[in-house]
Amino acid sequence: MNYEEMIKLAEEASKQAYAPYSKFSVGACVLADSGNVYTGCNFENSSFGMAICAERNAIGTAIANGERKINAVAIFSPNMLNCTPCGACRQVMNEFKSDNGLDIIVKGEEGIKIYTIEELLPESFNL
């Protein structure tokens, strides 16, 4: 699956977002080493701090399906161009980066933009 297709799946997933408090919808699409893709959306709670980001939702689904290595994560929000992941999601992506690294794909003003996890999370913490 190419990165353009992944952004389209992330856009589809964003339509399922449950974001009545922030009104900020996000969808994510994860490409695992197996070649399988998994999607997720953000979902919020009346206890605001319990919101789960789209990226961690999609990664959780990948993990629940037996994946341990992730090659790429595409992110789309209808509310923001260049919607890069929050710090918590960057740390979670870092945990499951593939041996070839992990690309983060967002939709910019002039098409897709590709970042590496090293660019978005330099000097990362690893055990």
Contact track, ligand THU, 51-80, x by CB under 6 A: x-xxx-------------------------
Between residues 21 and 118, which has the closer beta carbon with respect to ligand THU?
A: 21
Question: For the chain, how big is the Rg over CA atoms in Å?
Answer: 13
Q: Is 117 in the site for ligand THU (CB under 6 A)?
A: no
CB 22 within 8 A of CB 48: no
Binding residue for ligand THU, selected from 6, 7, 26, 30, defined by CB under 6 A: 26
Question: Cα separation of 77 and 87, whole Å?
Answer: 17
CA nearest to 38, candidates 76, 20, 65, 16: 65
Residue 4 contacts residue 112 (beta carbons within 8 Å)? yes
Does the protein bind ligand THU through residue 11 (CB under 6 A)? no
Q: Which residues bind ligand THU (CB under 6 A)?
A: 19, 22, 24, 26, 42, 44, 51, 53-55, 85-86, 89
